[in-house]
């Protein structure tokens, strides 16, 4: 499965966790979305959108979790992604992970919640 397909599957799982009250909120963060227009890229940059921000943000009762989704076979972090993960993990009650596929992300979330 592609990284996008893996993330879509994880979002279905997050909807279940939210319905069960195990998480409060979640959202994808569109920092990696390709933009066909140079003008839109310029607007995104000017409005604060930065490269490397993890794909998903999950709010729980006690913490904020970030997940950078990667393809199971070809997942590779960029320098920008590595920097975000490192810096986020320095903050109390914030956890940032790289997950190779939906199954790994589900297992990680189950172990935290």
- Summarize pLDDT for 80-97 with one digit per residue, the tens: 999 999 999 999 999 999
Q: What is the pLDDT of residue 33?
A: 57
Q: What is the pLDDT of residue 36?
A: 72
51 alpha-carbon distance from chain centroid: 13
pTM value? Answer: 0.91
Per-domain boundaries in the chain? 3-112
CB-based contact 65:57 (threshold 8 Å) = yes
Select from 3.40.50.1370, 3.40.50.11720, 3.30.420.40, 3.40.1350.10 the CATH code of 3-112. Answer: 3.40.1350.10
CB-based contact 56:67 (threshold 8 Å) = yes
Q: Classify the C-alpha dihedral 34-31-54-11 as positive or negative.
A: negative
- Strand order across the beta sheet in which 94-100 lies: 25-28, 56-59, 64-70, 94-100
């Amino acid at each position: 499965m592609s990284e996008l397909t893996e993330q879509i599957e994880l979002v279905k799982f997050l909807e279940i966790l939210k319905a069960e009250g195990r998480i409060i909120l979640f959202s994808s963060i569109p920092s990696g979305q390709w933009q066909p227009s140079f003008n839109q890229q310029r607007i995104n940059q000017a409005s604060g959108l930065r490269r490397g921000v993890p794909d998903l943000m999950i709010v729980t009762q006690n913490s904020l979790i970030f997940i950078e989704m990667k393809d199971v076979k070809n997942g590779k972090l960029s320098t920008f992604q590595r920097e975000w993960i490192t810096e986020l993990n320095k903050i109390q009650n914030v956890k940032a992970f790289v997950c190779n596929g939906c199954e790994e992300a589900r297992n990680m979330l189950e172990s935290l919640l």
